[in-house]
Structure formats: C-alpha cells, structure tokens
C-alpha cells in the first residue's frame, strides 16, 4: 500500500504506542506481558488500515487479537482507529510476514486472517505472495494444532493459486466460496475490509476459503 508520508507522525504514533505488542528479551512477541494471560491469539497479517480487525475484536471480546502490518504509516492509521474505539483485546505488530515465525510464539495462533493480500501476479514474484508455500510453512509453526487460516481475496488468479498451495502444503481446505457477498449465511457474519468494500463496489466477486492445519 503506497501513501504520502504522514504529517506529525511522531506525535501521532506516540499517542497510540500503548497498543503495540510487548516484546521479550529476544524481540519476540511476549503474549503474557501483552495480554495478561498465556493464551491463544488470533492474528491478521497485512491488516492495512485496520477496519476488519477492529470490528472483529469488538464483536469477540473474549478473544485476543494481533494485527501485523509492514508499512509503518498504514499501521499507525490502524492503531489510531483501534485506540479511538477502545479495543482492549487488540494489539499491533510492525513486521514483515517473512519473519512472523520468529516473532510469534510457536503453536499460539488459533486463527490467522489473510485479507486481500497483494496478488503479485507476475510469476517471478510468486514467492512474495502471502500464500506461497514458503509462507504457508512459516504459518504452520505459529498455528496451534487444528488452527486455521481464513483467506479472502477478490483476485481470482491468487485464489486459484492459493487453493493449490494450501493443499500442496498439507492444509485441509474447507468452506470454499467464490461469491462471499452472494452467500446468505457467510455474508451475514462477514466483516468487510477497506479493500473489500472498494472492490465489491466495483463489481468484483469476493472469494473466501478456510484452511485447517491437521492436528496430528
């Protein structure tokens, strides 16, 4: 996500910095220090401006959420949204998903959300897709046994690619839907992201799948 540098960045970041995750001595996310309990978390990678995760955290006050984002100014905007809403069960992590398995404790994630990840359509960039085999292997380390990934995208090419990579990497793919907004059950509980609102308004169908990590 490209954007102009934000004015008053330091002051704005300072106001919301209490929403950053707390780190352990190795720089990893310290879940007990962050949430006051050694509990399972749910994680969104590439949260963008944060509308989805802020709403999900408000709907599910008993769960704990971490939203991860690569671009500092985008992360700041998501944090401001959560700060103004008062989101006690939502914290933020500035990171590149490439190092997610060295930051998030092993086996601690019950659900991982990937919403409208950058499609990287050229074959030479396939490794950058957040559903490429290398990323799916990283996620296996942080997912709890039986944990799941919920993936939404308007991009049919990325969706078809991901159907293959999830299966190839040993995830059980369930609940495949090629028109989320047209599904009477799924659409009812769906929380739209910023990109989702934009692309569905332009007539793009929204694809969604759930990929479960077998618990053997």
Q: Point out which residues bind ligand SAM (CB under 6 A).
A: 1, 45-48, 68-71, 74, 96-98, 115-118, 193-196
Cα dihedral 107, 210, 160, 197 in deg (nearest 10):
-110
- Nearest approach in angstroms of CB 118 to ligand SAM is 5
- Nearest approach in angstroms of CB 92 to ligand SAM is 12
Looking at the Cβ atoms of 101 and 118, the one nearer to ligand SAM is 118
- Nearest approach in angstroms of CB 215 to ligand SAM is 27
Identified catalytic residue from 24, 73, 101, 118: 118
Looking at the Cβ atoms of 129 and 148, the one nearer to ligand SAM is 129
Q: Is 118 a catalytic residue?
A: yes
Closest CA to 92 of 23, 21, 15: 21
- Nearest approach in angstroms of CB 194 to ligand SAM is 4
Looking at the Cβ atoms of 27 and 32, the one nearer to ligand SAM is 27
Looking at the Cβ atoms of 71 and 150, the one nearer to ligand SAM is 71
Per-position b or e across 93-109, b if 16+ CB within 10 A of its CB:
bebebeebbebbbeebb
Q: Could you tell me if 90 and 128 are in contact, meaning their C-beta atoms sit under 8 angstroms apart?
A: no
- Nearest approach in angstroms of CB 93 to ligand SAM is 9
Looking at the Cβ atoms of 3 and 172, the one nearer to ligand SAM is 3
Would you name the residues annotated as active-site residues? 118
């Amino acid at each position: 996500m490209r954007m102009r540098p934000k004015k008053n960045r330091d002051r704005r970041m300072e106001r919301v910095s209490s929403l950053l995750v707390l780190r352990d001595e190795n720089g990893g996310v310290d879940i007990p220090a962050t949430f006051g309990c050694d509990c399972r978390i749910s994680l969104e990678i590439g949260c963008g401006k944060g509308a989805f995760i802020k709403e999900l955290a408000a709907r599910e006050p008993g769960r704990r959420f971490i939203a991860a984002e690569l671009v500092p100014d985008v992360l700041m905007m998501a944090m401001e949204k959560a700060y103004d809403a008062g989101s006690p069960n939502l914290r933020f992590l500035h990171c590149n998903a490439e190092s997610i398995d060295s930051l998030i404790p092993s086996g601690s994630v019950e659900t991982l959300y990937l919403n409208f990840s950058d499609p990287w359509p050229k074959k030479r960039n396939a490794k950058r897709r957040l559903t490429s085999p290398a990323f799916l292997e990283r996620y296996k380390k942080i997912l709890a046994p039986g944990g799941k990934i919920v993936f939404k995208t308007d991009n049919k090419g990325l969706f078809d690619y991901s159907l293959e990579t999830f299966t190839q990497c040993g995830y059980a793919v369930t609940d495949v839907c090629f028109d989320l907004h047209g599904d009477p059950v799924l659409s009812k509980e769906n929380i739209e992201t910023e990109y989702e609102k934009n692309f569905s308004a332009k007539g793009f169908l929204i694809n969604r799948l759930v990929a479960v990590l077998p618990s053997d």
